[in-house]
Amino acid sequence: GMGIEAICGGQCACATCHCLLDEASFVKLTPPGEDETELLESLDHYEAGRSRLTCQIIVSSQHEALELTIGPEE
């Protein structure tokens, strides 16, 4: 597997854990919060309906087979 940097330690403050989900995976998750959305929208590689911060995703057994791509460095 690949490591995710997440230099802020999961505090939704740096976007080094930015990922892009496929549409089917994105809709399975709870929507991003206001802070996450604001940070994501400031990124050059933000894609509405695909971008998330992995530190803000709560994964459960219902999320089997989520597909994501690690976002490019900003």
41 domain-assigned: yes
Residue 57 domain boundaries: 18-70
Using alpha carbons, select from 25, 57, 19 the residue that is nearest to residue 40. 19
On whether residue 66 sits in a domain, the answer given is yes
In a domain, residue 6? The reply is no
Which sign does the torsion angle of CA 7, 71, 3, 22 carry? positive
3-state DSSP assignment of residue 3? coil
Amino acid 60: pLDDT: 85
How does strand 18-21 pair with strand 51-53?
Answer: antiparallel
pTM of the model: 0.87
Can you give the pLDDT at residue 73?
A: 81
pLDDT digits (tens, 9 = 90+) for 14-68: 999 999 999 999 999 999 999 999 999 999 999 999 999 999 998 888 778 888 8
- Residue 60 forms part of a structural domain: yes
CB atoms within 10 A of CB 13: 13
Phi then psi dihedrals of residue 51, to 5 deg: -80, 135
8, part of any domain:
no
